[in-house]
Structure 1
Amino acid sequence: MSRPRSGKGWALLCLVPFALVFIVFQIAPLAWVALHSLRTDSGWGLDNFVAAFSSRFYRQAMQFSLEISFWSSLFGIIIAVLGSYSLRRVDSKLRDFVSAFANMTSNFAGVPLAFAFIILLGFNGSLTMILKQAGLIDDFNLYSKTGLIILYTYFQIPLGVLLLYPAFDALREDWRESSALLGASAWQYWRHIGLPVLTPALLGTFVILLANALGAYATVYALTTGNFNVLPIRIAAMVAGDISLNPDLAAALAMILVGMMTLVTLVHQWLLKRSYHVAR
């Protein structure tokens, strides 16, 4: 009986470094931000949150952050699902190449990505000029909300492929063959077998993509030089800005961002439980 206890003790001891790192770099900063979000000039209260939600400017930042994150995550996961499924059906060498390329491009973000898109799709970008000369577009503004959705979608796709590709291992080929023998169409197979099996992975990946987009800062800052109104830009401006320095209000906006992700996570957990009960 002493050996299992000793093994459990060593396991708990090994968790101590991780626990310390988690507390110092996750819990402590979050607690600091939460504390300062309640600090005002007159003491403590919810004045920073009232100021954030009563301001049309900050409400617009919340709206733009949610819209860009939602649509880029949706488009990204759709393309990632199609790409991951296609990878399961192609030659192993091509699969390995695309997987390695996705792994590389998933880290291609920030200033280099913004610079690449400016060269391609800026007002005088090479691809923009080609499409204009071909008569396919009249004008395109990369620095608008639509342009940012396209930019965000680009760096969402490789991450989505890396997360969803292993999920397709759960789909067994004999399930497809059995459903075909029983007279089920391809749509019926995906409706009653494929999608229910993939639902947990799809929902989990969507939440990760949403979090990835909500917290993106370097790319949108490098592209718009901080002139587009999203929450990460507003938070950074009030922490490091020379004119609008207000770290307490920035902490409140950061907690609103945390609240958005918490709400999305709770909805994700609810949908998972519902899909589990439906599957049973």
Structure 2
Amino acid sequence: MNAMTRGKWLALLCLVPFALFFIVFEIAPLVWVLINSLQTEESGWGVDNFTRIFSSKFYRQAIQFSLEISFYSSIFGIIIATLGSYSLRRVDSPLRNFVTAFANMTSNFAGVPLAFAFIILLGFNGSITLMLKQAGLIQDFNLYSKTGLIILYTYFQIPLGVLLLYPAFDALREDWRESAALLGANGWQFWRHIGLPVLAPALLGTFVILLANALGAYATVYALTTGNFNVLPIRIAGLVSGDVSLDPNLASALAVVLVALMTVVTVVHQLLLKRSYHVSR
């Protein structure tokens, strides 16, 4: 056995723990959820759970609200994160390291503490809400509505977006901008033909991650609304814990729907990546 063969076997051996971890904690639960989603206590095997989901206005609303909140918060988050990451790249000062460290810290600030902080700031009697009302800028604001949740989700999307996009701007070389300017291109033309095509894979990849992050968020929205807002993670948890009714098989079907939504988003992401790659070439 030569050195190259030994190296391959060693690499495969090192891969075994990861493969076992992936199978036990990723594949096996997914298979278990899929199997349970096809079972009902009344009729046994079938697609009755999915029929019940898509024939129910209540569960269709949960899917709609989850998609709307996730989509808009991801869009707003990636726009702000892109502008912030670009600005950080252009600023050469200790502020860059501070903002990067702050983004790293706040990206983990979620769940109950984040909900509590927003209640203090933007609740019905929150400090910012009261100041805006006294200034006459708003008449009323409901943090516990869909709009309030979009603002809340956008907040924890921004730090994650900055951390993911900040390294992507290394791909933009300054001499490209100078060369484009020498050839008569303005700023918009540079970003349209050079900047955005180069950043497109990172932007699309970050958007998918932000979307998945929002679709699966549970602790924050539960702590803020005490489980009264109709989104998929809340409905899944309610069916598993039996807050209203105990139906783990229906919860599994809702989880499969959630996975299917993310699968569709990922497939579209891959198609757009291939298209952007061919366009850039």
Residue in 2 that maps onto 1:133: 134
What is the CA–CA distance in structure 1 between the aligned matches of 2:94 and 2:19, rounded to whole Å? 41
- Residue correspondence of structure 1 range 29-178 to structure 2 within 5 A: 29-41=29-41, 42-178=43-179
What is the rounded CA distance, in whole Å, between the counterparts of 1:121 and 1:192 in structure 2? 41
Q: Which runs of 5+ in 2 are unaligned?
A: none
Report the residue type matching 2:79 in the other structure.
I
Give secondary structure in 2 for the equivalent of 1:88. Answer: helix
Aligned twin of 2:17: 17
Residue aligned with 2:109, SS: coil
Q: Hey, what's the Cα distance between the residues in 2 that align with 1:85 and 1:276?
A: 22
Q: Distance in 2 between matches of 1:129 and 1:243?
A: 35
Report how far residue 234 of structure 1 moved. Answer: 0.1
Between the aligned partners of 1:39 and 1:11, the Cα distance in structure 2 is 41
Distance 1:206 1:107, change over 3 A: same
Q: Would you identify which runs of 4 or more consecutive aligned residues in structure 1 move more than 4 Å? A: none
Give distance in 2, aligned partners of 1:207 and 1:168: 18
- Residue in 2 that maps onto 1:184: 185
Q: Taking structure 1 as the reference length, what is the TM-score of the superposition?
A: 0.99
Percent identity over the alignment?
A: 82
Shift of 1:91: 2.5
Render the CA deviation track for 1:67-91: whole Å, top value 9, x for unaligned: 0000000000000000000000112
Query: What's 2:235 paired with?
Result: 234
Cα distance in 2 for partners of 1:28, 1:172 equals 44
Q: Which amino acid aligns with 1:255?
A: V
Structure 1 residue runs without a partner (length 5+): none
What letter matches 2:131 in structure 1? I
- 1:141-185 alpha-carbon deviations (Å, 9 max, x no partner): 000000000000000000000000000000000000000011100
Give the aligned CA root-mean-square deviation in angstroms: 0.7
Aligned counterparts of 1:108 and 1:243: Cα–Cα separation in 2: 30
Q: After TM superposition, give the deviation of residue 278 of structure 1 in Å.
A: 1.0
Q: CA deviation at 1:43?
A: 1.5
- Matched to 1:114, the amino acid is A
Q: Which amino acid aligns with 2:146?
A: K
> Could you tell me the TM-score, scaled by structure 2's length?
0.99
Residues 232-277 of structure 1: CA deviation (Å, up to 9, x unaligned): 0000000002431100000000000000000000000000011111
